[in-house]
Amino acid sequence: MSLKAAQNQSSPAGPSSDSSKALYGGTSTRRITVHDIAAATERGEKWPMLTAYDAMTASVFDEAGIPVMLVGDSMGNVHLGYETTVPVTMDEIALLSAAVVRGTRRAMVVADLPFGSYQEGPVQALRNATRLIKESGVGAVKLEGGERSHEQIRLLVEAGIPVMAHIGLTPQSVNAMGYRVQGRGEEAAQQLLRDAKAVQDAGAFAVVLELVPAELAAEVTRTLHIPTVGIGAGAGTDAQVLVYTDMVGLTGGKVPRFTKQYANLRKVLGDAAKEFADEVVGGTFPAAEHTFH
């Protein structure tokens, strides 16, 4: 049970009383909305979120029941070969978001607003978020920053665009902050709490907490009524998100310590490629059953 669930113990239904409604494992096949996410959090359910960047992978996760899919700007690192998320463009996010929407029937698809697409101010944020809603068909957008982004969040929400916020480590600011744990020390912890309250007050429906101490993430989770989505933030958040290529062992090189590898697809893909190559060189592929006369 999540920490927020403990607060909801007094609700008449009690936590997870009707499993058919569950965000993960439920029976509903229609597209999940922000209302479903709020209701699940109210019931005390913990829920999973994964990144996806293409229709095929998204359909696998959709069929597995993953209720929320993030078209993360981590596509810059894992799919486009950039060092950071900073160079990712609106065109890249728009294209891959449309693919993820086409590959899913049930999941709510959230698209990251990339660096430079909302920092100029609320009007720029609204223009770019509107494009992702209209052109790509996503259900919500995500942007980085707490107090510093509250005006952008407010305008988007007023315009009818659900916003997921993202505080703690904000990778688009890597040039200023590096990849360090955030919220360590009393002053930084107070700032994180202010950021969390600012995004909730601005109308965000959820907030990602990236790379913050578990005790602080749990405190934020208890303080807010909107769900917290942790990545490197311990077990006390309402939801958890991972970059899917980290989860399946596909990412090359160094991965953050907070990721857990549930498969080794890098080895599976490499072995399949070698076997194919060996058979081509050895003349055993194609065989009779792959051949037309």
Ligand X SMILES: CC(C)C(=O)C(=O)O
Ligand Y SMILES: Nc1nc(=O)c2c([nH]1)NC[C@@H]1CN(c3ccc(C(=O)N[C@@H](CCC(=O)O)C(=O)O)cc3)CN21
Q: Two tokens at 288?
A: 């009779």
Alpha-carbon distance of 232 to 212, in angstroms, equals: 7
Pick the binder of ligand Y from 37, 78, 94, 109 (CB under 6 A).
78
Of 2 and 74, the one with the shorter C-beta distance to Mg ion is: 74
- Measured between alpha carbons, how far is 169 from 222 in angstroms, rounded to an integer? 20
DSSP 4-66: HHHHGGGSTT-TT--GGG-TTT----SPP-HHHHHHHHHTT--EEEEE--SHHHHHHHHHTT-
- Which of 34, 188, 255, 265 touches ligand Y (CB under 6 A)? 255
The token pair that represents 161 in the structure block: 């665009």
Torsion of Cα atoms, 65 then 68 then 72 then 78, to 10°: -10
In the complex, least distance from residue 112 CB atom to Mg ion, rounded to whole angstroms = 4
16 labelled as ligand-binding? no
On the question of a cis peptide bond just before residue 15, with omega within 30 degrees of 0, the verdict is no
Q: Report the partner that residue 208 touches, choosing among ligand Y, ligand X, Mg ion, none (CB closer than 5 to 8 A by kind).
A: ligand X
Catalytic residue among 42, 210, 219, 279: 210
Decide: residue 124, CB within 10 A, 0-12 exposed, 13-18 middle, 19+ buried.
middle
**Which among Mg ion, ligand X, ligand Y, none contacts residue 251 (Cβ within 5 to 8 A by kind)?**
ligand Y
51 binds, among Mg ion, ligand Y, ligand X, none (CB under 5 to 8 A by kind): ligand X
Instruction: Determine if 170 is a binding residue for ligand Y (CB under 6 A).
Output: no
136 is an annotated ligand-binding site residue: no
- CA dihedral of 70, 105, 221, 200, whole degrees rounded to 10: 80
- Per CB under 6 A, contacts with ligand X among 82-121 are 112
CA 270-73-212 angle, to 5 degrees, is 100
Residue 180 binds ligand Y, judged by CB under 6 A: yes
Q: Is 231 in the site for ligand X (CB under 6 A)?
A: yes
Q: Count Cβ atoms below 10 Å from residue 56 Cβ, excluding itself.
A: 9
Could you confirm whether 210 is annotated as catalytic? Answer: yes
β-pairing verdict for 108-112 and 206-210 = unpaired
Phi, psi of 123 (to 5 degrees): -70, -40
The stretch near ligand Y (CB under 6 A) out of 114-122, 133-141, 248-256, 271-279 is: 248-256
Q: Is 72 in the site for Mg ion (CB under 5 A)?
A: yes
Judged by CB under 6 A, does residue 240 bind ligand Y?
no
Q: Which residues are annotated as a binding site?
A: 73-74, 112, 142, 144
Active site residues: 210
Q: Which residues are annotated as a binding site for 3-methyl-2-oxobutanoate?
A: 73-74, 112, 142
Q: Which residues bind Mg ion (CB under 5 A)?
A: 72-73, 112
Q: Which residues bind ligand Y (CB under 6 A)?
A: 74, 77-78, 85, 169, 171, 179-181, 211, 243, 245-246, 251, 255-258
Q: Which residues bind ligand X (CB under 6 A)?
A: 51, 70, 72-74, 112, 166, 208, 210, 231, 241, 243
